[in-house]
Structure 1
Amino acid sequence: MLALSSLTLLVLVSASLVFGLNSGAWNALNASVEGRLVRGIPFARSCFPDTGGPVSGIFDEQQCDTVRSDYLDHFSLASTLGGYMNSQWQTCQRTGAECLLDWTDPANADADSPPRVCSQGSIPDYGIQIVTLTDVFAGLDFSKKYGIPLVIKNSGHDFKGRSSGPGTLALWMSNLRSIEQQPHFVPTGCSSRPGKSAVTVGAGVSFSDLVTFADQHNLTIPSGGDLTVGAAGGYTQGGGHSIISNVFGLGADRVLEFEVVTPRGDHVVANQCQNSDLFFALRGGGGGTFGIVMKMTTLVFPAMPINAVFAAFDPTVGNNRLEFLRFVTNQSLEIAKQGWGAYIIPTIGILMANPILTPIAANTSVAALKTFMTVNLTGTFTMTVEPNYKTFFDKYIGALVHVPVGIPLTTSSRLVPVEHFTTASRRADLVTTITTLFDAVDLSIIFATTPFLYGPDNDQTSVSPAWRNSLWHVNVANTWNFNTTVAEVSKKYSSLKVAVDPLRLLTPGSGAYQNEADVYEPDHEGEVGRPLYISPILTSVKASFWGTHYARLVEIKRKYDPEHILDCWQCVDWLGANNLRYKCYI
């Protein structure tokens, strides 16, 4: 029998801390939350006859059939405690302990048949289905008493594994699904201010719920590209971009108030008139860091028509892809000035949305794009005016933009400042850099979704200032499968970091979007933090995720969470990569 490595022993010790904790303690916790304590069961557990170590759930062939059919389904993954959109965060990547199917063919029995086994991996062993404030208090007290790390889990959309972890207790927020229209909302304690049109949403409300609600009430609420994302969670707390962010700002810009439980156990309201420092931190400082958000109140807008453009081409013909990238790079500044937001997919084409131009003006503004796509690239061009945002989303984003889920996927990103679009030579350098980058990775997309027209936030949010002076958020990714070795997975991460380095070098002093950044982003904190490492090609100490806001965020973190009850990978003032809770990162 092979001897267990020291790391494997460490993981098993942590798991035994949770599973081996006196059953009376868990029973007492369950009673205190009225039976809402649930086991974290790996999504594909029912497909595995054999297990590796303690693992929740049972083998069930009939249930496995359902799992196989739902393995790549956003809503199915979001509905379970053990479901994570990027499946490596269900696993212990450092040891290879996992419970994954073959995402290219979930019916492939090679993934779940002996000798392969199902392991608990990084899935929280238990979670509390949060319904009341008492549930949150119970979770905090239990964590402090027994030393069980907490994670905050909503829909499972987290590219960096911040809502999972071996040996953890999850506060599962998905049941908080209230939505209330507030036609004249005045933040608590701000009685002298005029009311604004808003909605108040529970922490578990998805954009699917919210966009539907907006449609039913003749409102517009910008969303991300996946409707299963929780509106009040890490999306907004980390920034939150939309295809119409150019006009309406980031999600963090539109928040008027949070109702939150701090890690110290205080139930507070945070807005510009009270607990304003916490309000600042929650508007861009990152999810799972400063408190447990119960509700969020955010601005809404009247229903409005959306000008939509979808243009596609064949990237396998000649130099089509290169010519396409040159054209959109040359046009990006002008179309941003006219109010367009866009998803630019180098191997497909471009999807654009504009909520402010008249149909005639919109048609004129994209005339050059139409000619280029149909004549130069012999591609297709479609332009419509959709009656509202939901119709636009369903017809275009929902049908054409497929955010991959159910697969192991690691991302990296970079915000590209406006200055790189102002001269021909700078645009040429940018095209050369991104073309090389896209050749070196598995997936790539350019989000032209920065708040360019929305303007500066005057330090009202903690989102990186780089968002305010950039046109593009470039995002790339690598993928792998259930049978990829630990060494090969490690190379997927390292090669992605290396591939993006030239773009980092081209854009010194900019940054990356923390929610979609490299798990090993260099200089993600800056000189006042504890950076994991500094890239040898970079000399700037400006924080990649928060820029000049980072020092203030550290002060706020230490004020509201001095014991580090909430801690997550690369989050503000985190405990660092060597902390035991991060032992499954590769």
Structure 2
Amino acid sequence: MAPRSLIAGGLVALAATGDALATVQRVSTGSTSGAAFFESETLQLTEASLSQLSENQSAWFDFAKNDSDLHTRSFGGCKVFPGDWLWPSEWVWRLFDELLGGALIKTVPLAASCYSSWPEYDANECETLTSEWTNSNIHAADPASVMWPLFEGRTCLPTTNASASCTVGGYSSYAVNVSNVAQIQLAVNFARNAGLRLVVKNTGHDFNGKSTGAGALGIWTHNLKEIDYIENYRSPSYQGPAVKLGAGVQAYEIYEKANELGFTAIGGEGKTVGVAGGYVLGGGHSPMSSIYGLAADHVLALEVVLANGRFMTVTEESNPDLFWAIRGGGGGTFGVVTSVISRVQPKVGVTVSTFTFSTGTNVSADTFWAGVRSYMKRFPAHANAGTYAYFWVLSTGTDSFTFMMNPFFAVNHTLAQYNALIKPWYNDLKALGISFTPNSTYYDNFYDAWNAGFPLETVASSVMMTGSRLFPRENWETASSFNATFNALHETVANGYSLLAFNVKAELPDGYTPNSANPAFRNTLLHAITSTSWDANATNSEIKSKMEDFTNNVLDKWRATCPDAGAYMSESDILEPNFQQAFYGSNYARLYKLKQRYDPTGLFYVPTGVGSENWVVKSEDGLPDQNGRLCRV
């Protein structure tokens, strides 16, 4: 099953065998977004296309005729699962692949080369894979692998024991390697009509495994890499430079293009993050957020395949409700986005600084924490200046700690301006007797600064989970609230948990259209992440106990300092209590109503997503992963 397409005039015939033949229309009408369709978006499924099929064949791939026709098959109240008698037969899967042009991939776990029970077994390849397992690129480039295998179910990890068990587990059973819109429409219609679980994967970055699911059909948008720079984009609400991104474009790709063409794009800190995928749809903070807000704030239009299989241009003018919901309401929730059009910003200079300080012979634990406290007190001033900081505080032993600024990212600051901003804190550190050696460099463009400041992500641990909190500005407004915040973070690290944090603000820029991003972002000064871990040989019950203790005790101390705030859904605790309030805040009721309008059967399910409380995954190991049937509550 390999991608292929045969183009003939205005029609693209996707080759088939036997008596099965379908045609996909190359549409002649343009997008109403203010920018032309990408080539991949001109190839669409139409009613005329489906008329080429027999009645039995088209029943699997028909559009929903209206909202009331969004029916779906189920098996005992669950999505149809491999082995069920309702599971599509081999001839249906072959037909589906033929209509896709050979783009259907039957899942082989990425680590199958380590297991003698798989035809892909190869000890040398396994050794290479094992050495690269934490590299985010290899997971992004696989149609089913996700970067946090704990939430797939840990069913096929690299191993030196070739006789161990490897199963597809919580990975999707099949994936469509998307190269055009018609393939997405076929997959959406097929999953809906057949009652299959559907997942959408771009890179697989999400911390909670939103792009994986046992028995699912996956839509893999990773290869939609088109980029168009629009020097003078016009819409009723905006006129100026913009960029149109395919859903598969990653941060390093758009940043390279922006640097080449002389503009600055808003995207993620991580190099392999899919900018136009779940990142922007979940809000998306970035090294530019303290000046320009969230990535979702910059979106001007989207091209989307909805649950009924229809391809739609979504703008503020054409569909204000959906335009509001998709921008911040979470990926894999309202449809499959094929491209976004976003504002871009002028070229900017950045000063990047890294340094560390630690406890030691002349620096007690109390002195160390006094230095950290001095920094934390300056969060409002630093964020107000438009800067962004990514830092760690780690316990290295009994009363032994390290602080790592990695990096301080001062947008629109020369080296002199950065030094002036940071000088009050530096003076405090020196007065405390804390030694440190800043490595500070000015870059005249965002790309070089970002490339120097942020290394490739390390991913794929199966012995840890994370949780986070967006600490609001109010926590810095009184001595008592600041002390409570500082003490909670101090206690977390002193108890042996890491602190990875971002001093950032993310206010909606003046004149920008509001969206459904978590309202907690608009008032935050600190996005903080911590994690827990367990032994590799821990039992499932031991892991579950660790996870619950982390949620209910460690993170609860953070929540207590700001109970009305929230957390960033894409870097969160999957067991977050009252996720509706934590990830969506006051937007949840409206988002849920729109979810029922556009996806009443729950075709698009993701853990902790809008409407996910109506479903449960009957996990094989009892953990909150995606290795099990998806069933109605």
Shift of 1:429: 1.7
Q: Does the Cα contact within 8 Å between 1:153 and 1:170 map onto a contact in 2?
A: yes
Cα distance change of structure 1 residues 162 and 457 upon mapping to structure 2, 3 Å threshold:
farther
Distance in 1, matches of 2:370 and 2:266, equals 31
Percent of aligned pairs with the same amino acid: 27
Shift of 1:20: 6.5
Whether 2:447 is the aligned partner of 1:390: answer yes
Aligned position for 1:148: 196
1:297-342 per-position Cα deviation (integer Å, ceiling 9, x unaligned): 1111121210222221125652154233312211111111222111
Q: Does the Cα contact within 8 Å between 2:386 and 2:411 map onto a contact in 1?
A: yes
Which stretch of structure 1 is more off in the superposition, 355-364 or 304-313? 355-364
Aligned position for 2:348: 304
Q: Does the Cα contact within 8 Å between 2:80 and 2:197 map onto a contact in 1?
A: no
Question: Bigger radius of gyration, 1 or 2?
Answer: 2
Shift of 1:584: 6.2
| Aligned ranges 1:421-500 → 2 under 5 Å | 421-440=476-495, 442-452=497-507, 455=509, 460-480=514-534, 482-497=536-551, 498-500=553-555
Aligned position for 2:427: 371
Shift of 1:577: 5.0
Q: Does the Cα contact within 8 Å between 1:143 and 1:149 map onto a contact in 2?
A: yes
Q: Does the Cα contact within 8 Å between 1:71 and 1:406 map onto a contact in 2?
A: no
Question: Counterpart of 1:75 in structure 2: which amino acid?
Answer: N
Distance in 1, matches of 2:283 and 2:298, equals 10
What secondary structure, in the 3-state scheme, does the structure 2 residue paired with 1:519 have?
Answer: coil
1:329-357 per-position Cα deviation (integer Å, ceiling 9, x unaligned): 11111111222111121133222122233
Aligned position for 2:372: 325
Cα distance change of structure 1 residues 560 and 20 upon mapping to structure 2, 3 Å threshold:
closer
Question: Counterpart of 1:500 in structure 2: which amino acid?
Answer: L
Shift of 1:508: 1.6
Aligned position for 1:209: 253
Distance in 2, matches of 1:523 and 1:361, equals 43
| Correspondence for 1:80 among 142, 149, 157 | 142
Distance in 2, matches of 1:194 and 1:271, equals 12
Which stretch of structure 1 is more off in the superposition, 569-578 or 223-232? 569-578
Question: Counterpart of 1:332 in structure 2: which amino acid?
Answer: F
What secondary structure, in the 3-state scheme, does the structure 2 residue paired with 1:268 have?
Answer: strand
Whether 2:587 is the aligned partner of 1:549: answer yes
What secondary structure, in the 3-state scheme, does the structure 1 residue paired with 2:219 have?
Answer: strand
| Correspondence for 2:104 among 28, 33, 37 | 37
| Correspondence for 1:24 among 91, 111, 117 | 91
Aligned position for 2:116: 49
Whether 2:215 is the aligned partner of 1:167: answer yes
Aligned position for 1:561: 599
Q: Does the Cα contact within 8 Å between 2:81 and 2:196 map onto a contact in 1?
A: no
| Aligned ranges 1:250-261 → 2 under 5 Å | 250-261=294-305
RMSD after superposition: 2.5
Aligned position for 2:572: 517
Cα distance change of structure 1 residues 440 and 307 upon mapping to structure 2, 3 Å threshold:
same
1:95-116 per-position Cα deviation (integer Å, ceiling 9, x unaligned): xxx1113xxxxxx62xx343x3
Question: Counterpart of 1:567 in structure 2: which amino acid?
Answer: Y
Q: Which has the higher strand share?
A: 2
| Correspondence for 2:170 among 122, 125, 144 | 122
Distance in 2, matches of 1:157 and 1:147, equals 26
The number of aligned residues is: 534
What secondary structure, in the 3-state scheme, does the structure 2 residue paired with 1:451 have?
Answer: coil
Aligned position for 1:570: 608
Q: Does the Cα contact within 8 Å between 1:225 and 1:242 map onto a contact in 2?
A: yes
- TM-score, normalized by length of structure 2? 0.80
Aligned position for 2:280: 236
Question: Counterpart of 2:391 in structure 1: which amino acid?
Answer: I
What secondary structure, in the 3-state scheme, does the structure 1 residue paired with 2:199 have?
Answer: strand
Cα distance change of structure 1 residues 391 and 277 upon mapping to structure 2, 3 Å threshold:
same
Whether 2:177 is the aligned partner of 1:177: answer no
Distance in 2, matches of 1:424 and 1:551, equals 35
Distance in 1, matches of 2:444 and 2:492, equals 38
Which stretch of structure 1 is more off in the superposition, 58-67 or 125-134? 58-67
Give the unaligned 5+ runs of structure 2.
1-76, 395-402, 626-633
Cα distance change of structure 1 residues 297 and 325 upon mapping to structure 2, 3 Å threshold:
same
Cα distance change of structure 1 residues 175 and 458 upon mapping to structure 2, 3 Å threshold:
closer
Cα distance change of structure 1 residues 18 and 461 upon mapping to structure 2, 3 Å threshold:
farther
- TM-score, normalized by length of structure 1? 0.86
Cα distance change of structure 1 residues 275 and 580 upon mapping to structure 2, 3 Å threshold:
farther
Q: Does the Cα contact within 8 Å between 1:128 and 1:172 map onto a contact in 2?
A: yes
Aligned position for 2:266: 222
What secondary structure, in the 3-state scheme, does the structure 2 residue paired with 1:545 have?
Answer: helix
Whether 2:189 is the aligned partner of 1:134: answer no
Whether 2:329 is the aligned partner of 1:285: answer yes
Cα distance change of structure 1 residues 222 and 144 upon mapping to structure 2, 3 Å threshold:
closer
Distance in 2, matches of 1:487 and 1:379, equals 44
Shift of 1:407: 4.2
1:254-310 per-position Cα deviation (integer Å, ceiling 9, x unaligned): 111111011111211111111111111111100000010000011111212102222
Aligned position for 2:25: none
What secondary structure, in the 3-state scheme, does the structure 2 residue paired with 1:232 have?
Answer: helix
What secondary structure, in the 3-state scheme, does the structure 2 residue paired with 1:35 have?
Answer: coil
| Correspondence for 2:205 among 147, 157, 164 | 157
Distance in 1, matches of 2:477 and 2:85, equals 56
Question: Counterpart of 2:390 in structure 1: which amino acid?
Answer: Y
Shift of 1:492: 2.9
Give the unaligned 5+ runs of structure 1.
1-9, 52-56, 93-97, 102-107, 526-542
Aligned position for 1:90: 152
Distance in 2, matches of 1:321 and 1:205, equals 42
Which stretch of structure 1 is more off in the superposition, 439-448 or 246-255? 439-448
Distance in 2, matches of 1:584 and 1:167, equals 17
Distance in 1, matches of 2:332 and 2:228, equals 24
